[in-house]
Amino acid sequence: MESFFSENSQAEVLAAGFDWAEGPLWLPDQEALIFTDVPKNKIWQWSELNGVSLFLEPSGYLGERTDKNEPGANGLILNESGELVLCQHGERQVAKMISSLNDPKPEFEPIAQSYESKKLNSPNDLIYNSKGQLFFTDPPYGMDPWDEKELDFQGVYRVDPDGELILLIDSLSRPNGIGLSPDQKTLYIGQSDPEKARYYSFDLDGNGDVIGGKMILDVTHLQSEEKKGLPDGLTVHSSGTLFATGPGGVLVISPDGKHLGTILTGEATANCTFDPEERFLYMTADSFLMRIFLK
């Protein structure tokens, strides 16, 4: 931990008042961070200069129902063309926003909607590799009781540049956060199952196929009233170190699964990301947007 943070490092609250903040993503050209409020079906923008402003509404559900629990977008990422790609809970799809980041509009082009003619659950988090292959997780958190669950598993998928959707993993009970090692040979998954709160690593071959995998850290025993939260979103530092949300806040984990320490947020923490220079780690923690300085 001391290699990343000074002894007196503390998390700073940047904004508050959200229902469940998620999906932080840095926009380099705008010098701003965007993040989702999943229950409110909105994406917000924060910048040092302008503070918080509404970026996009609706973000994940385009229908007429007003009684959905988690309708909004969750994980966000930019593709190689700098376009915004979203995991849309309400629409149960991964989609691309077809308008500009400087003039965002709720207009979307689907990227992945179904597997073998069966509707996806509710795509949650996503990551691109340098070949333009998109990896995403598909737990059921965005589904409401009246939604028909068409798949009998929770999958981890890959979408190739030609649009083909490939199922990589169907053995995890609640695949959630996802990330890639700096050499892009390892896929990391956080499993948000309170009975099996774990982090996994999966070896990838040159085609992006999974050729092996293992659990690297089990944190089920760390859950408590004082340390809220489960493995959820994660990000990978350029050193290969994982910064993964979990019990207590953000866990700092070595590539081989050693728990180096925890950034205590005091809240159930959903996700985290770095700015391009890795000066700050931005964290979405329940109703808060936070950050902590890295030395």
Nearest to 156 by CA among 184, 174, 137, 140: 137
**How confident is the model over 70-77, as a mean pLDDT?**
98
Question: What is the predicted pLDDT for the residue at 1?
Answer: 79
Provide the β-strand partners of residue 212.
Answer: 203
Q: Is there a cis peptide before residue 58, judged by omega within 30 degrees of 0?
A: yes
The proportion of the chain whose per-residue pLDDT surpasses 90, expressed as a percent, equals 97
Rounded to two decimals, the pTM is 0.98
Question: What is the predicted pLDDT for the residue at 198?
Answer: 98
Question: What is the predicted pLDDT for the residue at 8?
Answer: 85
Instruction: Flag whether pLDDT at 88 surpasses 90.
Output: yes
**How confident is the model over 126-152, as a mean pLDDT?**
97
Two tokens, residue 269: 């923490």
**How confident is the model over 109-130, as a mean pLDDT?**
98
The proportion of the chain whose per-residue pLDDT surpasses 70, expressed as a percent, equals 100
Nearest to 263 by CA among 241, 236, 289, 244: 244
- b/e sequence 209-241, b meaning 16+ C-beta within 10 Å: ebeebeebbebeebbeeebbbbbbbbbbbeeeb
Model confidence over 8-30: pLDDT tens digits? 889 999 999 999 999 999 999 99
Model confidence over 234-289: pLDDT tens digits? 999 999 999 999 999 999 999 999 999 999 999 999 999 999 999 999 999 999 99
Mean pLDDT, the chain, rounded, equals 97
**How confident is the model over 97-101, as a mean pLDDT?**
98
Nearest to 214 by CA among 232, 227, 201, 229: 201
Provide the β-strand partners of residue 249.
Answer: 246, 264
Residues 61, 88 contacting (CB under 8 angstroms):
yes
Instruction: Flag whether pLDDT at 57 surpasses 90.
Output: yes
Question: What is the predicted pLDDT for the residue at 72?
Answer: 98
Nearest to 261 by CA among 249, 271, 273, 270: 249
Two tokens, residue 236: 């990978």
- Return the sign of the alpha-carbon dihedral for residues 76, 77, 79, 83: positive
HSE, CB side, 13 Å, CA atoms: give it for residue 213.
19
